[in-house]
Structure 1
Amino acid sequence: MIWIAAYMALFLSLVALGQRIRQGVTQNNGKVHEQ
């Protein structure tokens, strides 16, 4: 059970980090794509 909780916590942290990266990329590249 401990391993399951650890994997879930790691997965959620990776998902949150991925969302932050996606938001940063879309905000930074949004102007470039418009051109």
Structure 2
Amino acid sequence: EELAAQALAVGLRAERTRYVDETDDHVGSEVAMLRA
């Protein structure tokens, strides 16, 4: 919510959050996507 508000303040729009699954080499991630 805070990131979406900050993005909107500078003219960006938050897209849905995407997730990268955990693997043997990567701990996994939650990725915030912004669109101009």
Fold shared by both chains (TM-score > 0.5): no
TM-score (norm 1): 0.30
Task: Work out which structure has the larger RCO, using CA pairs closer than 8 Å and 6 or more positions apart in sequence.
Answer: 2
Higher strand share: 2
Higher helix share: 1
Larger Rg: 1
